[in-house]
Structure 1
């Protein structure tokens, strides 16, 4: 069985020490194959007999106020993955994925449960905003599959949900990717990559939690779809090997004062921005919104995950640069903030309670190409990195 971390504790310590000496980084968890802690006998049996067994892909990670780490593993490969949202729990020296909030909530047969979570956020109140894109193995969504669930971690209960109708998240085309949360106004902003149709069906969604309603904007626009003829490499490898990857709106972040919304398209290198006062008024016309889009800068690398701190700085993963970029909130200067040659496909960013920035790297390009070595790769397939002393989450302000 592959239910173990492929590096020993001593080897992990050497790697972590090396990373700290080089970049002020440490590796807090790593795997070649994701180990799930499954209690339900039927779910466990289905998983262990599945062709996907041992081949799940970690995508997102977030950290609550107690320092607990949660991860997402969207069911892109199929329904047998035990949980799409999990909490990391220690079993000896191994970090395992335990279904969160419960196995029942993650049960693929549960009509109101979680189907395929990719993006999620934990706000300053320890409320987890769970974005369920719904699609399992790319299949068409049924009503209620694509949704946003607000879960109170401290009280361990659901406090709100919103099911996206077909005109906001197309049952066939949508790919709800990530979100940014404004506690003060109750708004959330969501990136839809729209990858399941050609041409892409990218767009942004604005959700008002106080009114429990949403609106889709910039649908299939040049600001939310892929850029024509864009291509990129990870090292010397083309992404993807059988044809260029095409992905629309992906990384998304709010400024510390919540006045600006930033986003990028994964297959593109432009950073866009919009005034959020335009978006919080659902009567603002699409024409006004389109004319309000500002192209901030051309990035030296395309990006996947984004976040912001409480000082106004924006952090963006750099896919072709093996690290993280930083956009200075005061000067507008863009710089390389984190680099490690083993940080292949830095996917998601998260904030810890100790002012640390967490980064997930997952070699996604190898997984999508079917070329991932789950037994003995030169570099662990999946890592959660931590850089200390960076700052506080944008949600804290």
Structure 2
């Protein structure tokens, strides 16, 4: 028998999805598990759900998950990320861009849902100079230790426009774009992704191909809230920046790249998360792996497994497990001349890391 590739990391299956393809997961401080399903072409009956008793339940209810054209600010259109903040709120990031369309006017939003009452507490919408016609709101991190009510940091992972970090003052809803079109938030022009041994390209029917190009996507925040880590989806590079510099509008955006730190290659990542000790966890979708980046920059692989077919969003639960969605994103029809190669079920997996999530307050 010939030698074979070594796989490692003790993965546990939490949930199998036999319906629509999930992207996001978040585990609350009480252990509740939430997931989301953007409307990318699958039959999405609800775009946000909670796993309750082994079943998916629309969250906070089915009505909210049904797009209401007469009240789009209070209904979910196409949710990319859900984040439980550790203090009783589930934050829902609605792209309002089904099938990666131009965002529906007034529909792109950040929604705070009270986990005790399971009702919407506040909705933040965005001006047209913040959410552009090319914007795709991807992921968000929070720090409630600055300002009156804290700040949110959102990645714009546009595939056809400038990437950016969107900064939101949660007290007044004032939002602005930072690192707009910067190298650190833009796709690496020399990046050629290879997944399952094959080059990943946009391949539409009749033979037309184009490079896989998505801007800033993965995002994580340090336990003290002072450093924001981020990466373009079409890149293997890791960057960080001072959150104080991001919030300081006296620093021109054209000068903000001077505050960006380059951490080197970590592999091509979708989701990222930090633990309470400042370690950053990042997927490597080219190598079916999960990386751990220590505060000193040392990187290690904590899991390498053939089941990690495109690790998407990460969350750290109060049980000290790292939870992550595996959704075979690279097997979608848009990469294979219109042929959908995904095989159900999609998975929610976890691995014990013996660390708690980074605090937000």
- Structure 1 position 98 matched with structure 2 position 57: yes
Residue number in structure 1 paired with 2:92: 130
CA distance in 2, matches of 1:241, 1:178: 22
Structure 2 vs 1, CA of residues 158 and 241 (structure 1 numbering), >3 Å: closer, same or farther? closer
**TM-score, normalisation: structure 1:** 0.81
Residue number in structure 2 paired with 1:30: 16
Residue number in structure 2 paired with 1:84: 47
Q: CA deviation at 1:373?
A: 5.1
Structure 2 vs 1, CA of residues 211 and 283 (structure 1 numbering), >3 Å: closer, same or farther? farther
Misfit runs of 4+, over 6 Å:
none
RMSD: 1.9
CA distance in 1, matches of 2:312, 2:255: 32
CA distance in 1, matches of 2:232, 2:83: 19
Residue number in structure 2 paired with 1:40: none
**TM-score, normalisation: structure 2:** 0.89
Structure 2 vs 1, CA of residues 241 and 115 (structure 1 numbering), >3 Å: closer, same or farther? closer
Q: Report the number of matched residues.
A: 340
Residues 299-343 of structure 1: CA distance to partner in whole angstroms, max 9, x if unpaired? 2x21000000010111111111212111112x3201112211211
**Which range moved further: 264-273 or 239-248?**
239-248
CA distance in 2, matches of 1:339, 1:126: 33
The one of the two structures with greater contact order (alpha-carbon pairs below 8 A, sep at least 6) is 2
CA distance in 1, matches of 2:163, 2:106: 20
Q: CA deviation at 1:104?
A: 1.1
Residue number in structure 2 paired with 1:142: 104
Q: CA deviation at 1:73?
A: 0.5
Residue number in structure 1 paired with 2:270: 304
CA distance in 2, matches of 1:116, 1:174: 13
Q: CA deviation at 1:65?
A: 2.5
| Aligned match for 1:270, one of 224, 237, 240 | 237
CA contact (8 A) 2:157 2:217 kept: yes
Residues 345-383 of structure 1: CA distance to partner in whole angstroms, max 9, x if unpaired? 001101112111101111001124354456xx4xx5411
Residue number in structure 1 paired with 2:3: none
Q: CA deviation at 1:25?
A: 1.9
Pairing of 1:225-236 with structure 2 (within 5 A): 225-236=186-197
CA contact (8 A) 2:180 2:253 kept: no
Greater strand share, structure number? 2
Residue number in structure 2 paired with 1:154: 116
- Structure 1 position 59 matched with structure 2 position 23: yes
Q: CA deviation at 1:140?
A: 2.6
SS of the counterpart of 2:129? Answer: coil
| Aligned match for 2:154, one of 190, 195, 199 | 190
